[in-house]
Amino acid sequence: MADTKDGPELHPVTRELAGGPNYAAISTLLPSGRIQTQYIWVGVDGDRLFVNTEAHRRKFQDMQRDGRVTLAIRDEQNPYHYAEVRGRVVGTEGGQRARDQIDELSQKYDGRPYPPESIKTERVTVYIEPERQTIMG
């Protein structure tokens, strides 16, 4: 049975899933209008979700051009339990704070800091405000 919530407040299940080491699939719109989906780490900041990427990556460029995104966050212990979040980019942050956040996410998912040699350009945190959330399972 699905539970749907409209508005900017995070559903408790969305908050729980995004707060744990559960992967998200993020979908963005390419310039052609086609959809691109990639797996990504996700975190919670108040009633917003955040992801961390690099400035040169296609998904970041897509989100700058068109802030509409969808995140599907699945429970790694039960893949039939997930939250689909449709929302908008409401802000970005670079610099040291974004660099610190990728280390925090890496600790959550991998239990260690993010490898500095993996960074090609500037890290950027992208904040997403939910507009519609659907919970399954």
DSSP codes of every residue in 1-20: --EEEESSSPPHHHHHHHHT
Q: What is the mean pLDDT of the chain?
A: 96
Residue 1 confidence (pLDDT) above 80: no
In the chain, where the domains are located = 3-136
Distance from C-alpha of 102 to C-alpha of 107, rounded to nearest angstrom = 9
Residue 5 confidence (pLDDT)? 87
Percent of the chain exceeding pLDDT 90 equals 95
> Exposed, middle or buried, 114 (CB in 10 Å: 0-12/13-18/19+)?
buried
Confidence of residue 74 (pLDDT cuts 50, 70, 90): very high
Task: Report whether CATH 2.30.110.10 matches the domain 3-136.
Answer: yes
